[in-house]
A and B are shown apart, each in its own frame.
Chain A
């Protein structure tokens, strides 16, 4: 309320003087009902925004409160820098998990981002309207598939194939890369397509009118012109990849080591929480909350970098 009331005051205070019938040659007064409705709506939206902010704050405070003791006990260096995660022996180093999460994300990105940007270019610049009508919903549908279904698909269909072709059990980074690569396509493709579409038509025409081919126009003008939006899209895809839990836990194999092969099992920041939380207690439980804090911070870094990059747009161009 403290945020709402001053603005309300500004809106209401001048009303009686300004809208008096004498001063304004017959312009009608704003009705009391309109005033009330406006104030009501304003406050309703304020409440909505507050709920979102409160949700984030509560989660952050709770996770921080639960997880902070592990940082205090081990020190940030030992927790983040320790290579061994062996809870039953009291070893809570999460460097391995951080590295594994980043590896999983990076591989998914390497496979998924070009695929997604290519899809977006196809949808925005190449496809005829009829083809687009079929393709775009298909891509959007990818985003609607629950992650457990991706995991199931990876486990039942992809894993045996990978096991047969490359040996081993088929659990490992490679399997995760393929699944994550597909999972982030809709996120990146949809946003990249928006970015391409928001490039003014005049810029396309200018390029064609200079004697550029379609390919040259896409490569030299449109993608550079949309680059900020594309970078944003890729960062959001990174967030999706690093936070993905369900699909990853089903196909990663979940061994707490830095794998010496991309076909060997591994454990990530997200999957350790889902694997260990059901039975963890004491320091182990606290350490898992510590892992959650790390995930939180990584997400915040992604969001913040989008902010910074988007802000640089106005000055750069």
Chain B
């Protein structure tokens, strides 16, 4: 972690590395309520980007704009451009199901299906047409290994996913998503409902995964953002009832040590206080 901080090169936030997601002028509405306004952000490929901010600041809502999960909530609307590898994800004819396969999501509450551990992980591959037992076996094992939970479940694959502990369930959910080989992994406060040992394992696997996957994590925990992320975005809703904005986006080390915006500094120091 420390050598990452040491190698920081301030000022190249928007230039270094390829952009996986580019978001320009995004506004989000719940009915008539403008919840997010004017969000511009670049999410770097093969890096971990953290969204931080107080409760209700719209960071989870924004995360869900990236894989169009908000489409499932009636009465919501999104304006502005969200591009994945340069392609408009809200463009006409875009299949949200295909987008979501490429941009996987982990939720705050572990949500394994009420089926066996094996079937949980095999769900996605089967969905997308994999039938051969040997292929499925291989994907299940590989995914559980990458999700840091293989050792704990390898002998009980036939047991129900819900029999696991909360932290194991969350890693099972990560394995389930990894099984469909997503390019991006969106994590919505993945560690706030699980035990500390599992938090450690999830943070470890994020570091391992980012070689192949772009990760975006929403977290309440600033230490976690500082530990796991390369870039950090700070969201804030300044007045209740008004839209939330992206206040500052920078390399994590820069944002946490020398924030440019007064509000970012207040938030960070207040929490660390």
Q: Chain A interface (Cβ within 8 Å of chain B)? A: 128, 200, 202-213, 216, 220-221, 224-225, 316-317
Contact = CB atoms under 8 A, between A and B. Distances in A.
A216 to B, nearest CB: 6
A220 B127 contact: yes
Given A208-B72, A209-B100, A221-B123, 8 more contacts: A200-B111, A204-B72, A205-B111, A206-B113, A206-B173, A210-B176, A211-B98, A317-B160
Given A209-B104, A316-B160, A317-B160, A202 B111 contact: yes
Contacts of B100: 208-211
A211 B105 CA distance: 10
B128 A211 contact: yes
B83 interface: no
B114 A210 contact: no
A281 B180 CA distance: 72
A317 B97 CA distance: 27
Q: Chain A interface mostly helix, strand, loop or mixed?
A: helix
A317 B162 contact: yes
A203 B123 CA distance: 12
B49 interface: no
Contacts of B128: 211
B141 to A, nearest CB: 19
Nearest to B116: A317
10 contacts: A203-B113, A205-B69, A205-B72, A206-B111, A209-B67, A209-B100, A211-B97, A211-B180, A220-B127, A225-B114
Contacts of A213: 97
B115 interface: yes
A203 B111 contact: yes
Nearest to A128: B74
B218 interface: no
Nearest to B159: A317
Contacts of A203: 111, 113-114
Residue of B69, B101, B126, B127 with highest tally of chain A CB at under 10 A? B127
Which 7 pairs from chain A and chain B are nearest by CB? A211-B101, A202-B111, A209-B105, A317-B160, A317-B114, A206-B111, A211-B100
Contact of B107 (A206, A212, A221, A224): A206
B107 A220 contact: no
Contacts of A317: 114-115, 160, 162-163
Contacts of B72: 204-205, 208
B107 A202 contact: yes
Contacts of B124: 210-211
Contacts of A204: 72
Interface in B19-76: 67, 69, 72, 74
A220 B109 CA distance: 21
Nearest to A129: B74
A205 B101 CA distance: 13
A205 B67 CA distance: 12
A317 B128 CA distance: 24
A210 B123 contact: yes
B177 interface: yes
Contacts of B177: 209-210
Contacts of A209: 67, 69, 100, 104-105, 107, 177
Contact of A220 (B123, B160, B162, B173): B123
A316 B119 CA distance: 14
Residue of B72, B113, B173 with highest tally of chain A CB at under 10 A? B113
Interface in B69-95: 69, 72, 74
Residue of A128, A205, A206, A213 with highest tally of chain B CB at under 10 A? A206
Given A216-B127, A317-B160, A208 B113 contact: no
Contacts of A210: 100-101, 104, 123-124, 127, 176-177, 180
Contacts of B97: 208, 211-213
Contacts of A200: 111
A191 B124 CA distance: 29
A204 B98 CA distance: 16
Nearest to A225: B114
B251 to A, nearest CB: 29
A146 B138 CA distance: 58
A207 B176 CA distance: 10
Contacts of B104: 209-210
A210 B74 CA distance: 20
A127 B145 CA distance: 40
B63 to A, nearest CB: 11
A97 B193 CA distance: 58
Interface in B102-122: 102, 104-105, 107, 109, 111-115
Contacts of B101: 210-211
A138 to B, nearest CB: 22
